[in-house]
């Protein structure tokens, strides 16, 4: 495929799909990987992550041929559009990519480019590993108890973009349908109204929950918790929970047991090789994750819950500067940090690149480069625990050395060289 709006590297080979059914990849030792540095602080954390990932690849006898692709402000500056088709095609063709944050104006302007990218790629599982790194300051007493992997559904829910603005003909058509055709009286107040629709499908729920179950089984995790607000939203959030239990029964047999079965049939003694499936109501879950952190392991939830929950959980292990993520589906992956573009710090060489670097670590793991992925984690941990940190962590610890984004990346690279 040829591209006009992409910086094609001179060398490197394309990653290809080895098995359509499992999504398994054929990964060369010098893969072409598209990268979007992103808006705001993306211009700081993007290059920092690239530098660290290059060092980890080199230390394990490989190389990455970066393909610069553009979205957001950089795409507007260069090509006069927010999301060039070439960017989407390059990511689709090369299968595994990494991006920094992209700015989304609140209320007006264009829709979220992040949501658009995840939807176009149908990267339906947003995976957010939430684990503690030694030396990271935390607002809780025992942050090391946190070791969760959050699977957030990425394509449905109130984020699906089915909504109408107050004052439009469309919203009045929807109001009339709801009131006149569906007989819903006395719910929507008179006057201007904005209306959004919350689709939760069996298909979307089961394919996300299946990813979480498979991950838990492959990685010897103890449990998968389905997080929902089904007590209030019975036909969407409760349906998600019910489809989760149905899937466990239909496809996993004895490998998955419910919490009731754990107690009724096994006296609370979990049989080896099994994963317990449980569910929690979302608001309760937000406090459980603080008070009973180590009872939770793999989480499967819908789009909105997952967005809130992962930021709250991320705060326990050091905040947005730390929390990584990766979007997966159909043998494709787009790694991206949980944080946004923090425009007030843009270009200051100040913010913490750890979240972007650890998102890159998830990407290396997805490529099957476990040695390189572990090296990145160990080098980041080594750097932070030696007191070398960026401003966000520095303000929470006594002593330590406050580093700029680029100096922090240099320190991690030094540790990669030392540890390899
Ligand atoms: P944000 O950009 O994540 O920043 C909020 C605050 O979090 C920052 O002011 C800073 O806190 C801290 N923070 C974030 N990233 C950090 C880092 N790398 N190192 C250290 N601290 C960091 O959230 P926002 O201000 O709500 O959103 C700004 C824009 O980003 C919006 O347009 C939003 O739509 C977009 N966004 C994009 C994505 C994405 O691309 N996936 C995700 C979320 C938001 P302190 O000021 O306290 O130091």
Q: Tell me whether residue 145 is one of the annotated catalytic residues.
A: no
Quick one: pLDDT at residue 75? 93
Quick one: pLDDT at residue 134? 93
Q: Mean of the per-residue pLDDT values for the chain?
A: 94
φ/ψ of residue 225, rounded to 5: -110, 125
pLDDT exceeds cutoff 90 at 281: yes
pLDDT exceeds cutoff 70 at 96: yes
Q: Single out the residue of 38, 33, 42 nearest to residue 90, CA to CA.
A: 33
Catalytic residue among 54, 122, 214, 307: 307
Contact 150, 224 (CB under 8 A): no
Q: How far is CA 78 from the centre of its chain?
A: 28
Nearest-atom number in ligand 1 for the CA of 353 is 18
209-240: b (≥16 Cβ within 10 Å) or e: bbbbbebbbeeebebbbbbbbbeebeebbbbb
- 387 in the Ramachandran plot: left (φ > 0), alpha (ψ -120 to 50) or beta? left
pLDDT confidence band for 394 (50 / 70 / 90) = very high
Instruction: Give every CB contact of residue 77 below 8 A, 6+ residues apart in sequence.
Output: none
The C-alpha atoms of residue 347 and residue 342 are separated, in whole angstroms, by 10
The C-alpha atoms of residue 223 and residue 50 are separated, in whole angstroms, by 34
Q: How far is CA 298 from the centre of its chain?
A: 14
Question: Probe ligand 1: pick from 342, 354, 395, 409, max atoms within 8 Å of CB?
Answer: 342
Contact 190, 179 (CB under 8 A): no
The C-alpha atoms of residue 201 and residue 240 are separated, in whole angstroms, by 8
Q: Convert the pLDDT of each residue in 155-212 to its tens digit.
A: 999 988 899 999 999 999 999 999 999 999 889 999 999 999 999 999 999 999 999 9
pLDDT exceeds cutoff 90 at 121: no
DSSP state, 189? P
Tell me whether strands 24-26 and 16-19 are parallel, antiparallel or unpaired: antiparallel
Q: Which domains does the chain have, with CATH numbers?
A: 1-137+318-419 (3.40.718.10)
Q: Which residue has the higher pLDDT, 110 or 340?
A: 340
CA distances from 330 to 88, 208, 213, 394 (A): 15, 12, 16, 40
Nearest CA to ligand 1 atom 1: 340
Collapse the DSSP code of 137 into the 3-class scheme (helix H, G, I; strand E, B; otherwise coil) and give the result. coil
Site of tokens 């406090």 = 287
pLDDT exceeds cutoff 90 at 93: yes
Site of tokens 């829910």 = 157
Q: Single out the residue of 70, 170, 159, 73 nearest to residue 116, CA to CA.
A: 159
pLDDT exceeds cutoff 90 at 38: yes
Nearest CA to ligand 1 atom 8: 342
Quick one: pLDDT at residue 2? 84
Tell me whether strands 332-335 and 96-99 are parallel, antiparallel or unpaired: parallel
299-337: b (≥16 Cβ within 10 Å) or e: bbbbbbbbbebbeebbbbbbbbbbbbbbbbbebbbbbbb
Quick one: pLDDT at residue 118? 80
The C-alpha atoms of residue 329 and residue 17 are separated, in whole angstroms, by 12
Helix, strand, coil abundance in the chain, percent, nearest 5:
45, 15, 40
Q: Single out the residue of 151, 118, 80 nearest to residue 334, CA to CA.
A: 118
Nearest CA to ligand 1 atom 5: 342
Output the CA 99–ligand 1 centroid distance in Å.
14
Annotated binding site for D-threo-isocitrate: 112, 114, 118, 128, 152
Q: Convert the pLDDT of each residue in 240-277 to its tens digit.
A: 999 999 999 999 999 999 999 999 999 999 999 999 99
pLDDT exceeds cutoff 60 at 108: no
Q: Tell me whether residue 283 is one of the annotated catalytic residues.
A: yes
pLDDT confidence band for 43 (50 / 70 / 90) = very high
The C-alpha atoms of residue 310 and residue 291 are separated, in whole angstroms, by 16
Please compute Rg for the chain using Cα positions. 22
Annotated binding site for NADP(+): 103, 339-345, 352, 391, 395
Structure tokens that stand for 244 in this block: 């989760």
Quick one: pLDDT at residue 110? 60
Quick one: pLDDT at residue 104? 79
Question: Probe ligand 1: pick from 45, 101, 314, 359, max atoms within 8 Å of CB?
Answer: 101
């Amino acid at each position: 495929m040829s591209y006009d709006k992409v910086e094609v590297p001179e060398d490197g080979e394309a990653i290809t799909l080895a098995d359509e059914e499992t999504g398994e990849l054929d990964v060369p030792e010098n893969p072409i990987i598209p990268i979007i540095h992103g808006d705001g602080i993306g211009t700081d954390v993007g290059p920092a992550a690239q530098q660290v990932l290059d060092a980890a690849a080199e230390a394990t006898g490989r190389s990455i041929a970066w393909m610069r692709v553009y979205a957001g402000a950089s795409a507007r500056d260069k090509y006069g559009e927010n999301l060039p088709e070439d960017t989407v095609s390059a990511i689709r063709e090369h299968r595994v990519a990494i991006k920094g944050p992209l700015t989304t104006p609140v209320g007006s302007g264009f829709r979220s480019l992040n949501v658009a990218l995840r939807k176009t790629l149908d990267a339906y599982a947003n995976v957010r590993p939430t684990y503690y790194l030694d030396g990271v300051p935390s607002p809780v007493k025992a942050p090391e108890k946190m070791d969760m992997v959050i699977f957030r559904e990425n394509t449905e829910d109130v984020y699906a973009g089915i909504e109408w603005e107050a004052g439009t003909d469309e919203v009045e058509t929807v109001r009339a349908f709801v009131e006149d055709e569906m007989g819903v009286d006395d719910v929507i107040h008179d006057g201007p109204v904005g209306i959004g629709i919350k689709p939760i499908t069996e298909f979307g729920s089961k394919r996300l929950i299946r990813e979480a179950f498979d991950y838990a089984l492959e990685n010897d995790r103890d449990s998968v918790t389905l997080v929902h607000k089904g007590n209030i939203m019975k036909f969407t959030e409760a349906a998600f929970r019910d489809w989760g239990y149905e899937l466990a029964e239909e496809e996993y047999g004895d490998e998955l047991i419910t919490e009731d079965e754990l107690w009724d049939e096994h006296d609370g003694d979990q049989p080896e090789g099994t994963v317990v499936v449980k569910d929690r109501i979302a608001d309760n879950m937000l406090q459980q994750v603080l008070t009973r952190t180590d009872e939770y392991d793999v989480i499967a939830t819908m789009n909105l819950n997952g967005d809130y929950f992962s930021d709250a959980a991320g705060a326990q292990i050091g905040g947005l500067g730390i929390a990584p993520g990766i979007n997966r589906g159909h043998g494709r992956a787009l790694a991206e940090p949980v944080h946004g573009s923090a425009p007030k710090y843009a270009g200051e060489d100040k913010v913490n690149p750890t979240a972007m670097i650890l998102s890159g670590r998830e990407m290396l793991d997805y490529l099957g480069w476990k040695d390189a992925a572990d090296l990145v984690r160990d080098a980041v941990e080594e750097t932070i625990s030696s007191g070398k940190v960026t401003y966000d962590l520095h303000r929470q610890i006594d002593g330590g050395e406050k580093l700029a984004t680029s100096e922090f990346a240099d320190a991690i690279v030094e540790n990669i060289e030392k540890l390899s």
